[in-house]
């Protein structure tokens, strides 16, 4: 396949063409030419789109697809097609399936189901058997079958010694351990951020302290053991400071933040819309400001959608009974594009996650694989259910005004627009 992209503004700080508008010729999935103007002598397929920008393909490190076990929420096939049309050329899929992805057979099943798509799927293995925080799962076997990191999705490691042993053991094969930041003895049955709004609405509070205490504990253990620790979806100002201090000490710690925690506060709770029930909960404007500063300063490494499809039977119910989670692949770019500096946003979706999870990086230059996301950063619209491609429709951004539209991806020698 030969493809000619016309007049694309390149956003890639690793490329010699960063912030330049160029034509790009691609043949059999490899970038052949990048020039000011390329004549289409071979009558190749052309891509010429309004205000076209391209970057390295985006990588979302926290996605749930349901399959196996929860196909009514999302299948791998529809999930990967949704990811591609949302600008993601790679996704890391959480192990909260049924059965839990805690062994090589389940990892192999997930990988086999994901063959042949534009978007590449990288499984995350469960850290403990059945994600029950009791016994360590088959980490080395899962790594050999394609798992890129290990953690129990939204389930904290309550046993400190278990985390200690995991960090020590994983060093034998350069494994990355993920620890969800929540102390359940403090969080208990909390539903939303413990603040004025939780009191006003009569909803059980989930204090920032629950997150911060767990992070402090995990960082002490990391300092003792060494190894590599990734803390997913932090949400408070104090969490940013704790991780900043740990990085200054030279600890190998990285972290991510979700798109919705960067733009929405707990003021969204006023309508008791169960789509706003997420974990970690929506916090305050003070926390948002600290999270954005943490991104700009390089303390926070990755932005994720934390895409978690929930079927209507478990979401459109009384707030206290609804499951935590929102979809987010389709809305991530539009929600953040005018909030986060463009270079910071793109880095947090491309080079940063790939370095941390040890995934191949393809910068935009001649001879590299064409692994590209195509988008228009200036298109403003209201996000409605018509924009949702996922099987489940539980979006926290429904009816929000977004700016920035994704055209699609070019990856794995496939074009999805």
* Backbone angles phi and psi of 328, in degrees to 5: -160, -5
> Could you say which of 12, 60, 218, 306 is catalytic?
306
Per-residue tokens: 299: 């303390």
Per-residue tokens: 350: 């491309």
Report CA-CA distances (Å) from 150 to 61, 94, 137, 141, 160: 12, 9, 9, 12, 16
In order, the DSSP letters of 195-264 are SHHHHHHT--EE-HHHHHHHHHHHHHHHHHH-SEEEE----SHHHHHHHHHHHHTT--EEEEEEHHHHH-
In order, the DSSP letters of 348-380 are HHTHHHHHHTT-----SSTTSB--EEEEEEEEE
Strands (DSSP E) contained in 44-136 are 45-47, 53-56, 58-63, 88-93, 120-123
H-helix or E-strand spanning residue 142: helix 139-144
306 is an active site residue:
yes
Contact of 322 with 314, CB cutoff 8 Å: yes
H-helix or E-strand spanning residue 21: strand 21-27
Contact of 60 with 256, CB cutoff 8 Å: no
Instruction: Give the residue numbers annotated as catalytic, written as ranges.
Output: 306
């Amino acid at each position: 396949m030969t493809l000619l992209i016309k007049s694309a503004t390149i956003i890639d700080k690793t490329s010699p063409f960063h912030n330049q508008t160029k034509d790009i010729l691609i043949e059999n999935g490899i970038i052949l030419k990048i020039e000011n103007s390329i004549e289409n002598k071979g009558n190749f397929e052309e891509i010429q789109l309004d205000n076209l920008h391209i970057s390295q393909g985006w990588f979302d490190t926290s996605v749930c697809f349901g399959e196996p076990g929860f196909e009514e929420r999302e299948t791998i096939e529809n999930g990967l097609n949704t990811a591609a049309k949302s600008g993601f050329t790679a996704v890391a899929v959480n192990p909260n399936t049924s059965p839990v992805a805690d062994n090589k057979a389940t990892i192999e099943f997930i990988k086999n189901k994901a063959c042949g798509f534009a978007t590449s799927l990288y499984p995350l293995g469960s850290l403990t058997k059945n994600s029950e925080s009791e016994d360590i799962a088959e980490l080395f076997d899962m790594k050999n079958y394609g798992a890129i990191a290990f953690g129990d999705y939204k389930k904290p490691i309550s046993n400190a010694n278990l985390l200690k042993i995991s960090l020590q053991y994983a060093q034998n094969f350069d494994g990355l351990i993920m620890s969800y930041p929540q102390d359940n003895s403090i969080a208990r049955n909390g539903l939303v951020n413990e603040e004025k709004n939780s009191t006003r609405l009569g909803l059980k509070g989930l204090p920032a302290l629950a997150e911060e205490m767990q992070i402090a504990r995990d960082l002490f253990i990391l300092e003792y053991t060494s190894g590599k620790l990734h803390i997913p979806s932090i949400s408070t100002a104090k969490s940013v400071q704790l991780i900043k201090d740990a990085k200054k000490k030279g600890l190998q710690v990285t972290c991510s933040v979700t798109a919705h925690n960067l733009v929405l506060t707990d003021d969204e709770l006023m309508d008791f819309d169960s789509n706003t029930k997420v974990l970690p909960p929506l916090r305050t404007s003070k926390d948002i400001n600290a999270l954005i500063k943490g991104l700009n300063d390089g303390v926070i490494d990755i932005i994720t959608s934390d895409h978690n499809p929930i079927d209507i039977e478990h979401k459109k119910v009384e707030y206290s009974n609804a499951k935590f989670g929102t979809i987010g692949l389709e809305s991530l770019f539009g929600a953040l594009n005018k909030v986060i500096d463009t270079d910071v946003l793109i880095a947090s979706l491309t080079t940063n996650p790939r370095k941390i999870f040890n995934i191949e990086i393809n910068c935009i230059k001649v001879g590299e694989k064409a692994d590209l996301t195509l988008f228009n950063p200036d298109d403003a619209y209201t996000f409605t259910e018509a924009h949702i491609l996922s099987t489940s429709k539980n979006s926290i951004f429904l009816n929000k005004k977004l700016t920035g539209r994704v055209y699609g991806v070019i990856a794995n020698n496939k074009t999805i627009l």
